[in-house]
Amino acid sequence: MQLQISNLCKTYPNGVKALDNITLNISKGMFGLLGPNGAGKSTLMRTLATLQEADSGSVMLGDIDVLKNKQRVREVLGYLPQEFGVYPRVNAYEMLDHIAVLKGIINAKERKDLVLALLERVNLLQHKKKSISGFSGGMKQRFGIAQSLIGNPQLIIVDEPTAGLDPGERNRFYNLLSEIGENVIVILSTHIVQDVKELCPNMAIIDKGRLLFAGEPVKALSDLEGKIWEKSISKSETEKYQKEFQLISSKLVSGQPLIHIYSETDPGNGFKKAEADLEDVFFKAISL
């Protein structure tokens, strides 16, 4: 199954163009959607999840018209939004059981077997009787993945899943998403470059509603090979270098800014050639 997005547009009443002619083809596996906050990622995710209307364009999931046949989409969709509401005092088992009923799984034994299997898959079986309000951030996200898997979905949408997770929980979440992505389409929407770097063989970058890049991360990196230069500067020099060079990123190393610039030739001035990484791809794309 393939997800085909063609010329998708959405403009809000305040004039903000959230989606500006977005065209993407997404196949089975993990697909990373990168962009800064406000880039249009959540608008695209909500549209694909049938929670929001587009102004124009088309979306096909296999033979399903996503924009016109919302009920069929929901039957094969798993969705983990950035914030998902649950009844906080309900325990994990009861909540998953309730969601399974809503998804049409009526047989009690089948539902019980499914709920227990999902809790085990996301390593929450030992916490099945614990109320969700007592879960850590990572546990809540793993519960969110469990509920998104009910009904054997063909498309799973995960919106900003690792924000606020500690490194251990983030790694456990990476492993779980990677396992799920072996068999279905999983779209990972995030502003965290490492999420895409760790998980996704294909990706897209959007900003201000526009598609800036689509393809394999390795291809994006090869396009920057030999064109990224770095230098440690003082904080007072930052504005000067912004004016003189195409500065794409700056981060503090031992309290001093380490800047990366884009240049097809040696810029001199004490710059050293740097090995491009996915952060350079991201910041280069959104700086245009």
Residue 131 has pLDDT above 70, yes or no: yes
Q: Please give the average per-residue pLDDT across 24-34, as a whole number.
A: 94
What does the domain layout of the chain look like in residue ranges? 3-217, 222-287
Which contiguous run of DSSP H or E holds residue 46?
Answer: helix 41-48
The pLDDT, as a whole number, for residue 85 is 61
SS3 181: coil
Architecture of domain 3-217: 3-Layer(aba) Sandwich (3.40)
How does pLDDT run across 145-156, given as a tens digit for each residue? Answer: 888 889 889 999
The pLDDT, as a whole number, for residue 86 is 61
- Reduce the secondary structure of 118-178 to three states and give it as a string: HHHHCCCHHHCCCEHHHCCHHHHHHHHHHHHCCCCCCEEEEECCCCCCCHHHHHHHHHHHH
Cα Rg, the chain, nearest whole Å: 21
Share the mean pLDDT of the chain: 90
Spell out the residues 6+ positions from residue 277 whose beta carbon is closer than 8 angstroms to its own: 197, 221
Alpha carbon 179 to chain centroid, angstroms: 16
φ, ψ for residue 228 (rounded to 5)?
A: -110, 130
Task: Write down the residue that tokens 């060079």 correspond to.
Answer: 245
Strand order in the sheet with 202-207: 77-80, 155-159, 185-190, 29-34, 202-207, 210-215
Residue 39 has pLDDT above 70, yes or no: yes
Residue 178 has pLDDT above 90, yes or no: no
Residue 228 has pLDDT above 80, yes or no: yes
SS3 230: strand
Q: Tell me the pairing of strands 210-215 and 202-207.
A: antiparallel
How does pLDDT run across 108-129, given as a tens digit for each residue? Answer: 999 999 999 999 988 899 999 9
Residue 83 has pLDDT above 70, yes or no: no
Q: Please give the average per-residue pLDDT across 215-237, as a whole number.
A: 92
Closest alpha carbon to 229 in 205, 192, 258: 258
How does pLDDT run across 14-27, given as a tens digit for each residue? Answer: 999 999 999 999 99
The pLDDT, as a whole number, for residue 288 is 66
Closest alpha carbon to 90 in 39, 42, 147: 147
Residue 204 has pLDDT above 90, yes or no: yes
The pLDDT, as a whole number, for residue 18 is 95
How does pLDDT run across 41-52, given as a tens digit for each residue? Answer: 989 999 999 999
